[in-house]
Structure 1
């Protein structure tokens, strides 16, 4: 059975020129499971946090992502767009691998950084299988090549329909150092795969290990 793979609808290049980011993450295939991956609480979709943002960091390549609440501790590989302009996903055979989109900012910089990964593959759950169970106030840690760790507080998490993806809300810059973590979500159909994407919204609130 083919693996679950987030793809991307071909974006408008004029829109990309405005937000300097990518188009919509979608899924082409998925793996059916009786219980399925957890989905976000509808109440978590509303954005907001009372924690003040940390100062933005200079650019530095992210090397690892950790989400203690769901047991994620995964290396990051670079992902970009393929020849047809679709967003690449990490290789599906490695269940514990996430991708950093290199055309966006690095996590911790001012702007919106993007990390994606599979929810499952042909053998079972993958790196972001538990993403939908996260709640506001929990944290994502991103280790960077300069030795610092950018810590992002979750200020929203939602499931969005792949046919009505809110591009600007997800990828547009708020002027703050933010992070989006994206995987497959919604209903699963053997023919069409997952109906949407789980999108996590994070704000940089702490920096560890910076010299």
Structure 2
């Protein structure tokens, strides 16, 4: 992971001024309530979820992410930083699109790779709406531009208040190949948007070319 990422481009709030706090669908009267939140038993337990040190994957810009348990199959766009040093967000109108922090490591490389997606857009739930329902042991697959795939296993899923986001824990350097999936969650208000972030912690278990 680069020094820039380890200093947390989201400043603990995952682009608090951007589209990941959109909530436009809820403001428009979305009918099925807010996104599901992780259960306490989904929390990361470092004592029991140590990653296996498998060979890291070569640099390969991600092109697609699949999460079989959620039936997610989405293209991936590269994301930079805005003028405030926060991560840009995928296009607001794109329901089925994930983003990857392009100045960080690619998924499967040694270090911590960061991917993000909307919880909702103006007319309904979006790609990471059900991220909070993932369970330990679920699989995440990320295809690269080299036509290879990195396979990750979920170690834990947690929700953090944006005002107390654990930057070092989420973005910190890693000796192995880690992946973080991030979206918004918690409660939504028109004045402040979403008040929490849902974070999936996962580690590389194998790669295929």
Contact 1:107 1:150 in 2 (8 A): yes
Deviations 1:128-149 (A, max 9, x none): 0110000000011000111210
* 5+ long unaligned stretches in structure 2: none
Structure 2 distance, partners of 1:126, 1:49, is 29
Superposed structure 1 runs of 4+ greater than 6 Å apart? none
Secondary structure, counterpart of 2:163 in structure 1:
coil
Contact 1:100 1:115 in 2 (8 A): yes
Which of 5, 9, 22 pairs up with 1:29? 22
Contact 2:5 2:171 in 1 (8 A): no
Which of 30, 39, 44 pairs up with 1:46? 44
Q: TM-score, normalised by structure 1?
A: 0.86
Map of 2:100 onto structure 1: 100
Map of 1:140 onto structure 2: 140
**Shift, 1:28, TM fit:** 3.6
Q: Quote the RMSD (CA, aligned, Å).
A: 1.9
**Shift, 1:50, TM fit:** 6.2
Contact 1:22 1:171 in 2 (8 A): no
Q: Residue 206 and residue 189 in structure 1: after superposition, are their counterparts in 2 closer, same or farther (change >3 A)?
A: same
Contact 2:22 2:121 in 1 (8 A): no
Q: Residue 83 and residue 61 in structure 1: after superposition, are their counterparts in 2 closer, same or farther (change >3 A)?
A: same
Q: TM-score, normalised by structure 2?
A: 0.87
Map of 1:10 onto structure 2: none
Structure 2 distance, partners of 1:29, 1:51, is 34
Would you say how many aligned residue pairs link Structure 1 and Structure 2? 195
Structure 1 distance, partners of 2:7, 2:191, is 33
My pick for the range that moved more, 30-39 or 131-140, is: 30-39
Q: Residue 126 and residue 18 in structure 1: after superposition, are their counterparts in 2 closer, same or farther (change >3 A)?
A: closer
Map of 1:161 onto structure 2: 161
Structure 2 distance, partners of 1:35, 1:17, is 36
* 5+ long unaligned stretches in structure 1: 1-14
Secondary structure, counterpart of 1:163 in structure 2:
helix
**Shift, 1:181, TM fit:** 0.3
**Shift, 1:191, TM fit:** 2.1
**Shift, 1:82, TM fit:** 1.1
**Shift, 1:51, TM fit:** 6.2
Superposed, 1:47-126 pairs within 5 Å as 47=45, 48-49=48-49, 52-126=52-126
Structure 2 distance, partners of 1:163, 1:75, is 30
